[in-house]
Amino acid sequence: KQEVTQIPAALSVPEGENLVLNCSFTDSAIYNLQWFRQDPGKGLTSLLLIQSSQREQTSGRLNASLDKSSGRSTLYIAASQPGDSATYLCAVNQGGSEKLVFGKGMKLTVNP
Amino acid sequence: EAEVAQSPRYKITEKSQAVAFWCDPISGHATLYWYRQILGQGPELLVQFQDESVVDDSQLPKDRFSAERLKGVDSTLKIQPAELGDSAMYLCASSRRETQYFGPGTRLLVL
């Protein structure tokens, strides 16, 4: 059974820091991996999707990398801003069924 | 930009009552998902539809939960009777290819 882990569960940093969020998964046979952002009481916003054949994806200040063989992904946030404060979730798609298996998320607080 | 619509946004009910949630996916998205997210946890799939057919409902508590997508467009998730442990955020998502787009969710509180 696929399990997705995100450590730490919460992180508080001052504005301007470069951040690395970690995600690990137990079964490396994935189809793709997706990073989401969730604001309090809201739905999920897709940030980046990495196919299993890709190593990384970039969008603005965000860069996500994937090392499928080691079961790890990182989300890099450059020059963090208070508006980046949210919970970040990592999810893997095993393929075929398109079902997403989520981690518990990491709550990020960026202090001005 | 097209979005997934859900209603109601919030629902408070007493245990043993029936509740229903509605989801309207992005137009043209054949795949629709219902997830449940307990506070502090990641979402977990309850049911997945491809058009009007159920693809995966292995985690749906079928003794009290039901879901339908009669015309392959919008969908309804029902709980009857509701239990205290059903308090959670219920998220609907849709996809045409690989990226899933999520709605704002329905937050359910069972008293």
pLDDT tens for A26-46 read: 998 899 999 999 998 888 999
Residue in A closest to B48 by C-alpha: A99
Q: Measured between beta carbons, which residues in chain B are less than 8 angstroms from residue A93?
A: 98
Whole-number pLDDT of residue A20: 95
Which residue out of A24, A31, A98 would a mutagenesis test of the B interface target, given it has the greatest number of B Cβ atoms within 10 Å?
A98
Average pLDDT score, chain A: 93
Widest distance between CA atoms in chain B: 39
Query: Is pLDDT of B96 > 90?
Result: no
Q: Are B79 and B60 in contact (CB under 8 A)?
A: no
Query: Among A38, A45, A39, A71, which Cα is nearest to B99's?
Result: A45
Q: What is the CA radius of gyration of chain A?
A: 13
Q: Reduced to 3 states, what is the DSSP secondary structure of residue A9?
A: coil
What is the arrangement of strands in the sheet containing B19-24, beginning at the earlier edge strand?
Answer: B5-7, B19-24, B75-79, B65-68
- Does residue A97 carry a pLDDT above 60? no
- A contact test, residue of B34, B45, B56, B57 with most A CBs within 10 A: B45
Average pLDDT score over residue span B55-81: 94
What pLDDT is stored for residue B85 in this prediction? 95
